[in-house]
Amino acid sequence: MRRVLGIGVRFAVAWGLQALSLVVVHWLVPGVRLEAAGPAELAAEAMAVALVLAALNSSVRPALLWLTLPVNVFTLGLFSLAINALMLYMVSWVLPFLVIAHFGSALLGSVVLAAVATSLGTVTAIDSHYSFFGGVVEWLARRLGSTPSGDNTRGIIILEIDGLSRERLETALERGRMPFLRDLLTRGHCLTGYDSGLPSQTSSSQAGIMFGNNWDIPGFRWYDKNEGRVVSSRNPADARAIEAHVSHSHGLLREGSSINNLLSGGAMKTVLTASRGLDTRPAEQQRG
């Protein structure tokens, strides 16, 4: 009962913050307005828009993100802003009191909405766990549960957080901000440091971790005199060449999966992985 009440309170807080953010958009963004006669009506309309927008974000948006995975890879996720704008524009079709002049207004409105909502969430110490979408995921996880595979083979999950030093990690642990990691440490896991060497950037570090070889990767991007051009680690063709250069042995992720990486680590399945962005294998093409 307490858990259900907690989810309800979190949803109500997130709903209120989203509605307040929509009021700010109504005031600041030309071409996006709520046709309210007074403060009470404005609040009611903002709450209604926030609710419908949350419903669309949890039902329609995941499918759109899946369908547009290739575009998101090549735009580094910026195309998701267009999807956010489309969601806001669709709400105006459902609720006539939300008036949006054109898609450009919806795009600007979605950017301002995201900025204001993030700012309010930071000020009020509300994080992503309080979002409507997060609540839906939590509910599904409880409802569906997990089914043991029956395979006792030991595996490994690697989560990379760019720019997080060991010192910052230890500070977060001391302040109680990483309870799951703290629980792992109390159950026998260890926290050890890793010297990535120079340059300490993503492609070089991933090459060292996944293949044990980061030789001749001078930076995230560099000028190649032989080719007469700038090589960039985030370019799919260049990322593929970098991986081919360092993968003289089996990768750490062989027979596994790679999600949202520059290099695949030899993974059998990949999603949003730059070095496989131009992969012509049917299985990879179906993933986008």
Write the pLDDT tens digit of every residue in 25-81. Answer: 999 999 999 998 889 999 999 999 998 988 887 777 667 666 666 666 666 667 778
Which residues are 230's β-sheet partners? 223
Answer whether residue 124 shows pLDDT above 60: no
Q: pLDDT-derived band of residue 89, with 50, 70 and 90 as boundaries?
A: very high
pLDDT digits (tens, 9 = 90+) for 177-221: 888 899 999 999 999 888 877 888 889 989 988 998 888 899 999
Q: Which two tokens stand for residue 102?
A: 């054109």
Residue 6 in tokens? 């907690």
Contact 31, 43 (CB under 8 A): no
* Mean predicted lDDT score pLDDT of the chain: 81
C-alpha to C-alpha distance for 138 and 132, rounded to whole angstroms? 10
Pairing of strands 98-100, 32-34: antiparallel
Separation CA 287–CA 273 (nearest Å): 11
CA-CA distance, 34 to 100, in Å (whole number)? 9
> Average pLDDT for residues 120-124, to the nearest whole number?
60
Q: Where are the alpha helices (DSSP H) in the chain?
A: 2-28, 39-59, 61-67, 69-74, 79-94, 103-123, 132-144, 166-174, 179-186, 202-211, 236-246, 282-287
pLDDT for the residue 288: 43
Q: Which of 270, 244, 242 is nearest to 256 (CA)?
A: 270
Of 284, 274, 288, nearest to 233 (Cα)? 274
| Residue labelled with tokens 């898609």 | 103
Indicate the range of 6-15, 138-147, 238-247, 258-267 predicted with least confidence: 138-147
State the Cα–Cα distance between residues 5 and 16, nearest whole angstrom.
Answer: 16
Pairwise CA distance, residues 253 & 258, whole Å: 7
pLDDT of residue 7: 65
Domain positions in the chain: 2-142, 197-287
Choose between 132 and 219: higher pLDDT: 219
Q: For residue 279, name the pLDDT band (cuts at 50, 70, 90).
A: low
Look at residue 164 and tell me whether its pLDDT is greater than 80.
Answer: yes
Q: In this predicted structure, what is the pLDDT of residue 31?
A: 92
Please, are residues 234 and 262 in contact by the beta-carbon 8 Å criterion?
A: yes
Residue 14 pLDDT greater than 50, yes or no:
yes
Average pLDDT over residues 121-146: 58
Q: Which residues make Cβ contacts (< 8 Å) with residue 102, sequence separation at least 6?
A: 31
